[in-house]
């Protein structure tokens, strides 16, 4: 009896361990019995096991755990054609999570996330291609016009380039495209894969290199045209300011010269009057003083040479010993 007790206890422990399983936090579990997903009591939906400790039938049941958290599918940038027959390269991402675990398990070949994302990407790309093909580039790359700029903030668009003016005239549909793709894909993803689409976003919209280069050239030409216009206006204003400044300078100099001439004339008149008064009071002394000043100016520089007759009137005060004028 003792010999059978230990094996029985060991078998009991093994069966007990095989009968329990643990579902980690953030995941859900389903049970596969005889190759089929175990249904709930209503025999319609699959039986889902939440995180925690659960019991199963040993040897017959296999447990598969599936991630119940929101997943991010960051797809590769793909090329799309607009209604204008122009190519755009769009990079997108999708937020999704498993809603029907049993359907998801069967549709993806055992809960393979890579298979699920491949199927989901195909659905999203097909819908997005249809949406892009019915719109122009200007509608794709911009959001609603009210989000770009409020109408009452535009006072004068004269300085805007033509591309900016065209953008203001088009009501963009970028947000509508994303919402339409999300709505159109959501039902199909739930029906075929058992997953729920939480969000869809176009995170980057680029143009092919050859188209981008032509657009950049056009934008550069428009900005250069605006720059030339501003520079010509600036030169015109500079010429006006320079002319006004030169006129003010000329007017000021003329007024100053006029004032200087008037002042100099008044001073000369006063000096002449003083000289006349002095000459009337002492003609001989005035003549003598004028001669001394002439001598001082004539002989101030040693290098100067004068050729004069000593008996000329210039030396009349030098020839007279008493300083008076001599008669010839």
- Bridge partners (DSSP) of residue 53 are 22
pLDDT in tens, 226-255: 999 999 999 999 999 999 999 999 999 999
- pTM across the whole model: 0.56
Q: Could you tell me the residue ranges of all domains in the chain?
A: 2-67, 71-207, 209-281, 283-328
CATH of span 71-207: 3.30.479.30
- Bridge partners (DSSP) of residue 46 are 39
> Do the strands 71-74 and 52-55 form a parallel or antiparallel pair, or are they unpaired?
unpaired
pLDDT in tens, 172-211: 788 999 999 999 999 999 998 999 999 999 988 888 877 7
Count other Cβ atoms within 10 Å, centred on residue 267. Answer: 10
Count other Cβ atoms within 10 Å, centred on residue 241. Answer: 10
**DSSP-assigned states of every residue in 223-240:** HHHHHHHHHHHHHHHHHH
Length of the chain: 328
Q: How far is the C-alpha of 139 from the C-alpha of 135, rounded, in Å?
A: 6
Q: How far is the C-alpha of 58 from the C-alpha of 15, rounded, in Å?
A: 7
56 to 47, 65, 67, 97, 269: CA distances (angstroms): 12, 14, 20, 26, 133
Q: How far is the C-alpha of 313 from the C-alpha of 300, rounded, in Å?
A: 20
Q: How far is the C-alpha of 135 from the C-alpha of 40, rounded, in Å?
A: 47
pLDDT in tens, 17-65: 778 888 899 898 888 888 788 887 766 678 888 898 888 888 788 888 8
- Bridge partners (DSSP) of residue 74 are 93
């Amino acid at each position: 009896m003792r010999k059978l007790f230990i094996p029985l206890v060991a078998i009991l422990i093994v069966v007990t361990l095989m009968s329990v399983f643990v579902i980690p936090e953030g995941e859900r579990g389903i049970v596969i019995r005889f190759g089929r997903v175990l249904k709930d009591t209503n025999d319609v939906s699959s039986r889902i096991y939440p995180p925690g400790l659960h019991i199963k039938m040993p040897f017959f049941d296999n447990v598969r755990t599936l991630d119940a958290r929101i997943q991010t599918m960051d797809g590769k940038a793909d090329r799309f054609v607009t209604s204008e027959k122009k190519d755009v390269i769009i990079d997108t991402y999708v937020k999704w999570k498993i809603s029907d675990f049993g359907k998801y398990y069967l549709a993806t070949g055992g809960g393979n996330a890579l298979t699920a994302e491949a199927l989901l990407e195909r659905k999203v790309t097909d819908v997005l291609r249809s949406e892009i093909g019915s719109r122009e580039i200007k509608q794709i790359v911009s959001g609603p016009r009210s989000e770009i700029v409020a109408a009452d903030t535009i006072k004068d668009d004269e300085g805007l380039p033509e591309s900016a003016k065209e953008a203001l005239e088009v009501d963009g549909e970028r947000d509508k495209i994303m919402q339409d793709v999300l709505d159109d894909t959501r039902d199909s993803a739930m029906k075929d894969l058992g997953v729920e689409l939480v969000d869809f976003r176009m995170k980057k919209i680029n143009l092919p290199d050859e188209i981008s280069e032509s657009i950049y050239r056009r934008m550069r030409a428009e900005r250069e045209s605006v720059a030339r216009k501003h520079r010509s206006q600036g030169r015109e204003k500079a010429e006006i300011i320079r002319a006004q400044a030169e006129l003010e300078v000329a007017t000021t100099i003329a007024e100053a010269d006029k004032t200087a001439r008037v002042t100099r004339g008044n001073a000369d008149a006063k000096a002449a009057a003083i000289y006349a008064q002095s000459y009337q009071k002492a003609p001989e002394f005035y003549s003598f003083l004028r001669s001394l000043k002439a001598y001082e100016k004539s002989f101030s520089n040693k290098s100067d040479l004068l050729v004069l007759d000593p008996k000329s009137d210039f030396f009349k005060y030098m020839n007279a010993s008493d300083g008076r004028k001599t008669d010839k």
